[in-house]
Amino acid sequence: MSRFFRNANYSSSSDSESSGSSSDSDSSVNEVVSKPTTTPASRFSRAAFDSDDEDNNVKRVVKSPKQKHTEEVVSLSRTIIKSARESRWQAVTSDFDKLRAAATKLEKVLKGESMPRVFIRCLALLEESTDEKSKDKLSSTDARGFNQLKQRLRKYKDYDAQVAEERANPTASDDDEDVNNEDDDEGSQADSEEERSAPAPRRAAASDSESEEEESESDSDSDSDWGSSDDESSDSDSEDDAEAGISRWLKKTTTKDTGKAKKVKKDRSQRAAAQPSASSAANKEEEDGDDDDGFTTVGKKGKAAQGPVYSSESINKFLKTFIASRGRKGTDKKAAIKMLEKLLTFAANPLQKAKVLMCLISAQFDDVPAASYMATESWHKAQNSVNELLSVLEANHQLTICESADVHETDDDIKYRDEKIAIRGSIISFVDRLDDEFSKSLQNIDPHTPEYVERMRDTVPLYVTIVRSQYYFERSDLKDSICRIVLRRIEHLYYRTDQVNLHVEAAVADLSSKVDSKIVPASAAGDMEAIIHSLCAYLYTNADPLQRTRAMLMHIFNHALHKRYYVARDLMLMSHIQENVHQADVNTQVLYNRALSQLGLAAFRLGKIQEAFEHTVELESSNRHRELLAQGVSQQRTQQLSASEEILQRQRQLPFHVNINLELLECVFLTSSMLLEIPYMASANANPEARRAPISRVFRRMLDFNERQVFLGPPENTRDHIMASAKALAEGDWEAARDYIQDIKIWSLLPDCEEIKEMLASKIQIEALRTYLFTYSTQFESIGLEDLSVMFGMSKGKVYSLLTRMVYRGELQASLDEVSGVLIFNMANFEASSRMQQTALALSNKVNAFADINERMFELKINGGQTPSDRQQNANEHGGKQQGGDRDGRQNQQRGGNRDGQRGGNSNQDSKGNKNNQDQGQRSGGNRNGGRGRGQ
């Protein structure tokens, strides 16, 4: 019977207070029990006891807008906190949108008052969660919600001050306790349900003694609830009001037991609220190496669990365990890193320290997501481990780490006494991985944020690590590793200017003074050209073909970057790289394209317009210049990349600070094309091929499109300025063309901006004069040099040299009169003196061609579709003789008869009285008639 009354405590809310006697209540209870056949599922439900009084007890509560919005914000904040702790980020994202809208309404109502504390704590918790957590172990839905939440939190900066204060001084508020209490209530209710439904022998014993006491207390309270008291607190009153209808007639727990149960529940909620802070404190103590945190780890049956015992003698055993567990599924990588960090403190000599550091570096690189990059904090730890390993090797020259050494598996490392020993390992692989992870992080970070600039500060420490590795390899005489590390060093130097590289080299000046390097002598200090040349020269002599090719291309790039065009061009031509580069790997081809682009920029800076055009035309003519330079993925309409191909292309992308400015490259190409194409188009009067074979099809297509435009506004971008300058140049207005070109803002990115603008103004004057002479050469018999000098703002000597060069090359059919200073055009220019004559000549050529085509078609029609050559071939095959059953032979014979008949008739008329000829003519006429009959 006690179980029956105890179950009533879990039913619905109680009925309203009534003034009935105890006998009436007992009879009502008996009536309910005496009817087992009526709806057993609802016999003890709320509707069975208080359905009549439910409507009468409903109280309408009128809330102000402030109270209503406050409750909504608090409720949403608690829901978000709970969902965030359970990592349900899709639900957090949807609730966060609602919370923002509700917070906006509440802020209007509060009118300057502070927001609820739980709202600020909710925002602080979300920021901490998005900063610390990783989305690798989340489902696709939660990962998408996590990314959306992270982006929305970046834009939501309305309460940054309050959130920063809360994160600096976190306090456990009542709202968090309420959230944890709800979780505990749900957990306790589930536990009680399981305890009632499951048999007693199946109850699992708890591992924690404190939790067992709490469960026993709660069981005793629930089994012996027969006391009641009037001295309960406000919490117990609110609980009594919510009791079930039948439970109001049962005995309540005593004051002592109730207070004890509430104390247990309150302690449980306080522990749940303090659990995150305790775990973070424990993690901090573990990181600091302090194992005494005030708690003892308890195993089964209450016995204290024994953790691993670390010592110098057991280092090899733990290292073997770690090596055996690498790569296995389910291995805790973070625990392995912590274990190795502890082992490092127990290393008794340099040999043990080197072994532990090698395993620690490998574990740190293993703890990287496959599809992501290494976190900045983890990268710094790995770099510190590599530097520490290099320090151990630098201080102990008897230790050597190389890939060809034997495996050192002896357990007597504790007895090591500075003997010469070689350990199997690879320092170069650690440095390569460190550099690759750094590049991956730069690829994935937005280059327009302060985070990218902050990450770039690690470039100099990484370069110092590379130089230290190079000195170690030189001392150990590891040639293969030396070539690889020297190539890494060049990759960090070749794309920078000498001014920047000098600051980078200053960081390794102390190392250079301590070590006598054979690759980079001490005399080259302070001269970046000599340093890069020494590094590349070593690779030219000792490296394999691929490394030599990459070193050559980076050397060419560096020469071109510093305006040493002729050196870079000769190096490119002598190496013959352009002949075999299509057989190289993708990264080498990208490097070749970068070197070619930089050569074009260097030629343009020196005023070599033709060379600049030739170096850049191949890249700019294709629509894949971003992909060819590894600066983006150019998705075309007809090309659809698979997911794996797109991932590979994105992995090949270069960091943003290494990129070549594509807009500057396009501007150089179009400007060079304009200076070459406009005079070539103007020379069409004397050279008809100029219209058919353009120099730059890309520029000609842009110019045609621009001319077809109905309305053209003022130029806005680089292309518009160049098209406007091209039109002005074609019209002979060199001043307008110069102004349009000099107004382009992209020239400011070049170091010698003013020199380039002056060079362009001079080139435009020269090409404008050439265009003017090509256009109007048919209209003049002679023109004075003085007039040309004044018209184009050039000196007379410069005009004279230009005209002499044009006459010598055959571009102008003219002669110079030095005495009178006049350019006299020859009569050959007047062969096509007018546009009408040129049009008439073109029309006559087309008419002649059309007449030839018409004659051929007519011959095919009248000869049955056979050409004269076909007829001759058929005649040779048949021999012109009549053959039985051959239709073509008969037709040939009939045609011959017709011709003979005509000839016979004529001879009959000419030779009068010749009877034989007359008979022959009649026979031929008969044959002719017969032939016609057959034809009919």
- For 505, the token pair is 């080299």
Report pLDDT for 105: 83
Res 216 pLDDT > 90: no
Give me the mean pLDDT over the 168-183 stretch. 55
The pLDDT, as a whole number, for residue 571 is 94
Environment class of 873 (CB within 10 Å of its CB; exposed 0-12, middle 13-18, buried 19+): exposed
Residue 220 has pLDDT above 70, yes or no: no
pLDDT of residue 303: 53
Sign of CA dihedral 515, 520, 523, 524: negative
User: CA 281, 284, 287 angle in degrees (round to 5)?
Assistant: 155
pLDDT at 33: 37
What is the reported pLDDT for 827? 63
b/e code 444-465 from CB counts within 10 Å (16+ = b): ebeeeeeebeebbebebebbbb
Is the pLDDT at 363 greater than 60? The verdict is yes
Paired strand residues for 704: none
Mean pLDDT of 104-132: 81
As given in the structure block, the two tokens for residue 745 are 């803002």
User: Does pLDDT of 872 surpass 60?
Assistant: yes
Write phi, then psi, for 825 (nearest 5 degrees): -85, 140
* DSSP alpha helix (H) spans, 411-449: 427-444
**Residue range 155-171, pLDDT digits in tens:** 787 787 778 777 777 76
Chain segment 248-272, per-residue pLDDT in tens: 454 444 444 444 444 444 454 444 4
- How, if at all, do strands 814-817 and 421-424 pair? unpaired
User: What average pLDDT does the segment 464-486 reach?
Assistant: 93
Segment 572-592 shows an average pLDDT of 91
The more confidently predicted of residues 237 and 90 is: 90
Render pLDDT for 69-83 as a digit per residue (tens, 0 to 9): 888 888 888 888 888
Q: What is the pLDDT of residue 431?
A: 95
**Confidence grade of residue 876 (pLDDT, cut at 50, 70, 90):** confident
Contact 344, 353 (CB under 8 A): yes
Q: Is the pLDDT of residue 452 over 90?
A: yes
Q: What integer pLDDT is reported at residue 392 of this predicted model?
A: 93
Flag the least confident range among 238-242, 664-668, 860-864: 238-242
Look at residue 424 and give its three-state secondary structure: strand
Neighbours of 61 (CB within 10 A): 5
Per-residue pLDDT at 690 = 57
| Residue 727's pLDDT band (cuts 50, 70, 90) | very high
Q: What is the pLDDT, as a whole number, of residue 348?
A: 86
Indicate whether 926 pLDDT > 60: no
pLDDT at position 588: 93
- Residue 695, class by beta-carbon neighbours within 10 Å (0-12 exposed, 13-18 middle, 19+ buried)? middle
Residues whose CB falls within 8 Å of the CB of residue 127, separated by 6 or more in sequence, listed in order:
153, 163, 167
Which one is predicted more confidently, 45 or 560? 560
417, two tokens: 């006494």
Q: What is the pLDDT of residue 762?
A: 93
pLDDT band (50, 70, 90) for residue 296? low
Return the percentage of the chain with pLDDT > 90, whole number. 29
- pLDDT value at residue 689: 59
Predicted pLDDT at 724: 93
Q: Is the dihedral of CA 171, 175, 176, 177 positive or negative?
A: positive
Tokens of 422: 């070689």
Lowest mean pLDDT among 146-150, 190-194, 435-439, 805-809: 190-194
How far CA 885 is from CA of 499, 878, 891, in Å, comes to 98, 13, 11
The pLDDT assigned to 236 comes to 42
Rounded to an integer, the average pLDDT of 19-39 is 39
- 3 state DSSP class of 402: strand
753-773 pLDDT tens trace: 999 999 999 999 999 999 988
Contact 715, 695 (CB under 8 A): no
Task: Give residues with Cβ within 8 angstroms of 407, minimum separation 6.
Answer: 424
Closest to 469 measured CA to CA, from 455, 488, 454, 443: 488
Between 309 and 437, where is the model more confident?
Answer: 437
Share of the chain above pLDDT 70, in %: 67
Mean pLDDT of 265-291: 43
Q: Please state the pTM of the whole predicted model.
A: 0.60
- Of 290-299, 468-477, 781-790, minimum mean pLDDT range: 290-299
Which pLDDT tens digit goes with each residue over 481-502?
Answer: 999 999 999 999 999 999 999 9
- Work out the number of other CB atoms within 10 angstroms of the CB of residue 145: 22
Highest mean pLDDT out of 213-227, 271-285, 663-677:
663-677
Distances (CA, A) of 291 to 86, 295, 759: 29, 10, 73
**Higher local confidence (pLDDT), 895 or 137:** 137
Instruction: List the one residue out of 20, 29, 19, 27 whose CA is nearest residue 250.
Output: 29
